[in-house]
Structure formats: C-alpha cells, structure tokens
Amino acid sequence: MSTQENPEKVVIFGTGPAGLTAAIYAARADLEPLVYDGMQPGGQLTITTDVENFPGFADGIMGPELMDILRAQAARFGTRFSMNALDSIDLTSRPFHYVCGDEEGWADSVIVATGASARYLGLENEIRLQGYGVSACATCDGFFYRDRVVAVVGGGDSAAEEASFLTKFASKVYLLVRRDELRASKIMAQRVLANEKVEVLWNTSVVDVLGDDTVTGIRVKDSKANEERDITLEGLFLAIGHTPNSSAFADWLDTDGSGYIETAADSTATNIGGVFACGDVQDTQYRQAVTAAGSGCMAALEAERWLEEQAHSA
C-alpha cells in the first residue's frame, strides 16, 4: 500500500485498450504500475462481439478475449490490478492522493484511461441485445451487416457518418432523427441525404427493440403523426453521442465543452505535470481500440520520461 512518503510510481485508471497498453509499457519499464479496473473492467470492447480490425488477429477475436489477453500481457510484466473504481482524486500537489472504494493511495504520476461511454436510449431490450444486433460502433460492427437492413439513431455528425459508412455494407439504412432537422454539419448532412441507400425518418424515435436472441426489428414512433409502427431489420446502431468518463478529474484537468480531457498536441500530457490522459477520455476523433492502445503506449512513455526528469531535477 502506498503512502505519501512512499507513493506509487504510476497509477493507471481504466482497463480498456488504452489503460492496459499503458500498463504493459509501464511494467516493462519497471515502473510497477498499479491499475484500477473502473466501472467497466475491460472497457467498451467487453460489450462487443467479434473484433476484426485490431491488428494481429487475422481471424478476428472476441472483444472480451482480446481484453483478457491484454490484461494477461500486462500482468506478465508485474502490473498489479485492483478491482476498485476511482471515487476521488486530488491533483493539487504531488504525490497525488486518490480514493478508490476502500483503498486510498498516493501516486507520483497518473495515467487517466477511463474511456468514454456510448450513450444508449435506455430501453430494456436495447440493453439486452447489445452485441446481438444493437451496437454503438458502426466502424466495429458494420461489416457484419452485408446486404442487411439496419437503422442508425441520431442526427449529429456521428450518425451521419455512421449511416454513410453502413451503406457500404447494408442494403438499406434508416436514419432515425428525433427532430425534423439534422444537427450534423452541412457537408455531412448533404452527403447522407444524397445517399440512395439511406431513408431518413424524421420526428422518429425508437420505442422498443424486437427480437429474442438477435435483433429482428424495431418499434418506432412518429411524434408528429403520433403513430407507432414496426420496421423489420437486423442491426440497430446508436449514434447519440458519447460521454467521456472524466468527472472525477473535472476539478483539475482542462476539458473541452463536452468533458473530453484536453492534451497537448501530439502528446498525452494534460495541464497538470505528471498526469497523462489516453484513449477515449481524450479522443473526440477516432475512438478505435487500436488508437486507444497507441495513445496508452504514448502515455506510459511520457510518464516514464517525466518521472526520470523529476528524479534528475530533485
């Protein structure tokens, strides 16, 4: 257990691809990282099925299995894990003090890899069928819907982009917009509206997801006509935004208007020395497992360098 006098060298919050890759690098640099699982051990990949775009797995790999492998790889080099999630942290002065459930500790450097959570509508059947026709990542899962009918919920840039992307595979893409206009930027809106495979249903919300083991359809409501109807389809993609899991750090770290932690250009450094952010909690652009892993590597290398600099300047 760390103390103020004898802090951890590196504490990592989050065990998605970013946190675990940071752990692999930090452990191999003899920094003996301590990693806190967080609310969703393994991160968002634990709620997907096949991952076919993570390099190194020619036949694809199940998301939970990939995370087990990354965890074992981090453990192999001496990473220690705690199942607790971060409750609070004080970044006023070093070593940083934090509380995770019934544990508290001190850390010379911190890597924030707490990820982002895709927003869902909150329907019971939508949650039950996650990974079985319900997805929040068209780039990850679109490939499985070749010649199938799918729907995308949302009216922002993500929804426009995902609907356009899905037309590469799907035979038809419904875009379900809850208002009578898109929030998406003009260019992306124009692109999706011009796509012959896309049918936009305005003023339309999903009220239920149909299917026992996999999605077979959705029940939608037209709020103008005040009518409900069922649509037969096999994939439902949510693109109603993500929430970065940054609230524990909000008092200390600079964030953008949406809560994403801001990092220096080409770096994972935050506005506080010794605190690095990687993966989806700071990524508004790519949000891929492989980019998260890449930024986790950067965070560990930067933490290592930063600790060396502190040791030399002490």
> Closest separation between CB of residue 207 and ligand NDP, Å?
11
* Structure token pair of residue 257: 């208007």
244: contact with ligand NDP by CB under 6 A: no
158: contact with ligand NDP by CB under 6 A: yes
Residues 6+ apart with CB under 8 A from 73: 20, 24
| Residue 252 contacts residue 261 (beta carbons within 8 Å) | no
161: contact with ligand NDP by CB under 6 A: yes
179: contact with ligand NDP by CB under 6 A: yes
> Closest separation between CB of residue 182 and ligand NDP, Å?
7
Tell me the per-residue interface mask from 76 to 115 with ligand NDP, x by CB under 6 A, - otherwise: ----------------------------------------
Nearer to ligand NDP, 267 or 284 (CB): 284
> Closest separation between CB of residue 118 and ligand NDP, Å?
9
156: contact with ligand NDP by CB under 6 A: yes
> Closest separation between CB of residue 237 and ligand NDP, Å?
12
- Provide the annotated active-site residues: 137, 140-141
List the one residue from 183, 191, 219, 221 that touches ligand NDP (CB under 6 A): 183
Distance CA 45, CA 100 (A): 23
Q: What is the DSSP secondary-structure string of 59-128? A: T-EEHHHHHHHHHHHHHHTT-EEE-----EEE-SSSSEEEEETTEEEEEEEEEE---EEE-----HHHHH
**Bond before 33 cis per omega within 30 degrees:** no
| Residue 258 contacts residue 284 (beta carbons within 8 Å) | yes
Query: Under the rule (CB under 6 A), what is the footprint of ligand NDP?
Result: 121, 153-159, 161, 178-179, 183, 205, 239-241, 284
